[in-house]
Homo-oligomer: A and B are copies of this chain.
Amino acid sequence: MDPILAIILILVVAKGLGEIVERVGYPPMIGEIVAGILLGPSILNLVILDPTLEAFAAAGVIALLFISGAEMNPKAFARARDVSVLTGAAGVAVPLFSGIGVGYLLGLNLLEAIFLGIILSITSIGVAVRTLIDLKKLNTLVGSTIVGAAVIDDILGIVLLGLLSSIALGEAAGMAALALPIALSAFFLLFAFTVGKRLVTWAFLRSRRMRTHEMPYTAAIIIAFAAAYATEAIGLHYAIGAFIAGLMLGDQIRKDQGLFDGLVDFAFGFFVTFFFVSIGLLVRIEPETILSPLLVPLIAVALAGKTAGGFLGSLPYLKDRMQALIVGFGLTSRGELALVVAQTSLAAGIISVGLFSVVTLMVIATVFLAPILVKWGFSRMEATRSLTPAETE
């Protein structure tokens, strides 16, 4: 299909369904993913996720996380650091081991069971962040904890994937494969928050002194894409670099309302939609998959594992069961990274077509249920609070 026609079709269907979902009271993101399922191979088979749409989707998740970083209060995010680390770790460990266990019980071979555990341990940063933005809860302690834990989660997920591929390749060099991504991630974070922050702020401030009127806008986009590319190059998800770039430039960008609004429109008015539609396009729903005996147990483990991990990891810090529960809910969404890992594992012969299809449906189920659970949690929390004396968060 002509790419211009694909762009029109995606924007019309996704924004239309998003609007309907929003009127019903749920995050519009759900409508955008449904648009992808509708236009993609599962139903109408009109739009294929070709390299051009993949580039638009990548730009979308970069724009989404950059804006999230820029909207986030860096102090609140820093305050949530310790709770994020423990929550991220518990949010990976519980689903990992329960996935391996369930896989074993259901009769999968060891490699498939480990794969299942890893897939279950990767939260979708994009879905988690968009849910919080749609519900206007990004800058709460719960919101910061979810985002921070999702970042930690991604780093641990990459380490696990390195481990899985060394097992699959039968390599003895497993420890080396583990050490490299950890070292690179640590170096990147250290660099980013020291030299990187100064460099980026300097470059951005310089762009304001240029003759070219739109230079600060372009500079912000360049910085977001470059940081995203840097994290992608060291094996992390695009989204992490873009988020860190947003955190760094947030103060500068929020000072200029016109610039900030322009970048928000660039993200939410255009590119972000392609990211959520691409999740729907990656999915292939078939009747026999829906009837698979694996499906219901898998969805149950996916929801229970992350909720338990997030709850247990954050409760010691948050000291509030409802808040800790919402953190758990916020981490339940799996997204494009889980789908891409499933696809490459299918291509590498690690998993069967049957397991791949069930995983696909599990991802979609979590993507729909996570925002609903988070929304329910926040409204329960606020209902309870209005009965008790006011408290600061």
Interface residues of A (CB under 8 A from B): 2-5, 7-8, 11-12, 15, 18-19, 22-23, 28, 50-52, 54-55, 58-59, 62, 210-215, 217-218, 221-222, 225-226, 228-229, 232, 238, 258, 261-262, 264-266, 268-270, 273
Contacts and interface: CB of A to CB of B under 8 A. Distances in A.
Contact of A62 (B4, B23, B62): B4
Given A4-B229, A229-B5, A269 B214 contact: yes
A231 to B, nearest CB: 11
Nearest to A218: B269
30 contacts: A2-B229, A2-B232, A3-B55, A4-B55, A4-B58, A4-B62, A4-B238, A7-B55, A8-B222, A11-B221, A11-B225, A12-B222, A15-B212, A15-B222, A18-B212, A19-B211, A19-B215, A23-B211, A52-B52, A214-B264, A214-B268, A217-B265, A217-B269, A217-B270, A218-B270, A221-B269, A221-B270, A262-B262, A262-B266, A265-B266
A12 B225 CA distance: 11
A3 B62 CA distance: 13
Contacts of A226: 8
Contacts of A265: 214, 217, 262, 266
Contacts of A28: 212
A262 B258 CA distance: 8
